[in-house]
Amino acid sequence: MTRPATHIWRLLKWGRTAARHGALRGIERDPNTPDPVRRLTRLARLGTFQPKTPDYAGAFRDIGPAAIKLGQSLATRPDLVGDEAAQNLLSLQDDLPPVAYEQIERAVSATFEQPLDSLFSAIDPVPVGAASIAQVHRAVTSDGRDVALKVLRPGIREKFARDIATYEWAAAHVEAMGGEAARLRPALTIANFKRWSNSELDLRREAASASELAEAMHGFEGFRVPAIDWDRTNGKVLTIEWIDGIKISKRDELIAAGHDPAELAQRLVLAFLTQAISGGFFHADMHQGNLFVQTDGTIVAIDFGIMGRIDRRARQWLAEILYGLTTGNYRRVAEIHFEAGYVPSHHDVGEFATALRAVGEPMRGKPVSELSVGQMLDGLFAITRDFDMQTQPHLLLLQKTMVMVEGIATQLNPQINMWDVSAPYVRSWIRDELGPEAAMADAVRENLSTLLRLPDLVRRVEDRFPAKGGAPEHAPLPEVELMWERRARAKSAGRNWPGYVLSAAIGAGAVAGALAFGWLG
């Protein structure tokens, strides 16, 4: 077990790095920042040069590989980090100087326990990409096939494990302060981040995810997943079909090659909806660098390290929420939130429906180019605060991917209306998948609504044992001994920590924890 002093030392280094990028300034200004955090933030930035404009992306990049991944995940959480920080973190590129080819060659040979020339006839020593976890080289197999060879950076698993242990420690202390931090559940956020990272660090899992998605999307024309070379894949090495094509971000090149950007945009949105709603298993890293368009117009996805999964019950609610928003049925959308346990039952369904209307109506019937995504998110997050909604971690990846897909679709076709594209698909899915069940539910809601009003006693039971809303059981949280608990234990054993040591320890954890989990902007 890592000693608190080690966590504190890491957090102090990261906090100083953040301060040099101006990334602690927003913590002092946020009214939700606990007083101890605000005081220690001021101490952390003493003696540092504060740039006029905070560079959150630069701070995470300089802290290290695990922080880069964490920063990217927080880029879609303006409720946690604030709009300014979220926008800045969107520019956080997951690229690092490549590892020397000699190290890669030794790593591949060692992991297969056989000479490289028995597996590959050629490997390009210059990587086509070098990210925080792995780097990719183009190669030719011994039987003549062009492939992409993805290799973990040496020692990266150990580095991630060390850093995530400190994230867990800091998150536990921040959440224990209560208030807004407790509602946003940073400890659970880090638990999910740890699970996703561990999956990315096992390339067999990535290969399996690609294979599963390929099967799920087999009947969807115009979207494809590259084939896995299982004989040349293990936990540290992934070998996958090489893809030649135009990056989906290069709109001018796509048009020059004869492709229709508007049709590509619509197909991409429908491909995502098919994955998320029909299959409940979706590519959760669909940024522009991971999507290519082949000569025949097929969209090909790569990089399956981050995948999302939601069960049928959650998909049903998601479909009804999307359909309710597209049709303006805010009452039904509000009811779903209460049925799923997202909103505590002491709130009023009608008031929540009105709040949703205030956010939804400005979006309906307009192209994305005329909408302010920032204003929309501000409204949604204000609702979550006003109605005591806790963060739903099982939907975070879905939200992140929806933002990515919307961004790419808008770049391809600035006039696309996401609601118009989504509504027919969602309506069809509800009809085909729910069928009589949905019709019966509608009839019960419309004609027997009084029977749906449960007695107050049952409502109180629901409050105590709320429905999970289709959410999987949350990731197990690590047992973290808080500093004040440690002090009490030491005191009972006859050892007494000086008060200033305890204050400094808690403050250091709180400052860096706040940086990572809640008060950036």
Give residue limits of the domains in the chain: 4-95+157-199+501-517, 244-301+312-471
Which helix (H) or strand (E) segment holds residue 291: the answer is strand 291-293
Q: Is the pLDDT of residue 172 over 70?
A: yes
User: Residue 414: its pLDDT value, please?
Assistant: 87
268 pLDDT exceeds 90? yes
pLDDT recorded at residue 458: 44
> Which band of pLDDT confidence, cut at 50, 70 and 90, is reported for residue 509?
very low
Give every CB contact of residue 508 below 8 A, 6+ residues apart in sequence: 8, 11, 12, 15, 40, 44
Query: In this model, does residue 150 exceed pLDDT 90?
Result: yes
**pLDDT 10s digits, 83-138:** 778 778 877 777 788 999 999 999 999 999 888 889 999 999 999 999 889 999 99
How confident is the model over 426-451, as pLDDT tens digits?
Answer: 778 777 765 555 444 444 444 444 34
Q: What is the pLDDT of residue 498?
A: 46
More confident residue, 486 or 444: 486
Does 285 qualify as catalytic in the annotation?
A: yes
State the pLDDT at residue 475: 57
Of residues 521 and 154, the one with the higher pLDDT is 154
* SS3 call for 482: coil
Mean pLDDT score of the chain: 78
Alpha-carbon distances of 124 from 34, 129, 231, rounded to whole Å: 52, 12, 20
pLDDT value at 45 more than 70: yes
Q: State mean pLDDT over 478-490.
A: 67
- Overall average pLDDT of the 330-339 stretch: 83
Q: How far apart are CA 518 and CA 521, in angstroms?
A: 8
Nearest residue to 289 via CA among 303, 275, 276: 303
| Residue of 285, 378, 456, 463 marked active site | 285
Scanning 219-290, the segments in alpha helix (DSSP H) are 251-256, 261-273
For the cut 70, the answer to whether the pLDDT of residue 262 exceeds it is yes
**Highest mean predicted confidence (pLDDT) among 308-317, 321-330, 351-360:** 351-360
What 3-state DSSP class applies to 12?
helix
For residues 54 and 493, is the Cβ–Cβ distance under 8 A?
no
Q: Is a pLDDT exceeding 50 seen at residue 518? A: no
Q: Identify the residue with better confidence: 423 or 254.
A: 254
Each residue's pLDDT tens digit, 413-425: 988 877 678 778 8
pLDDT in tens, 91-102: 777 778 899 999
Confidence of residue 223 (pLDDT cuts 50, 70, 90): very high
CB 389 within 8 A of CB 383: yes
Asked which of 38-47, 61-70, 383-392 is least confident by mean pLDDT, the reply is 383-392
In tens, the pLDDT along 394-403 reads 566 677 787 7
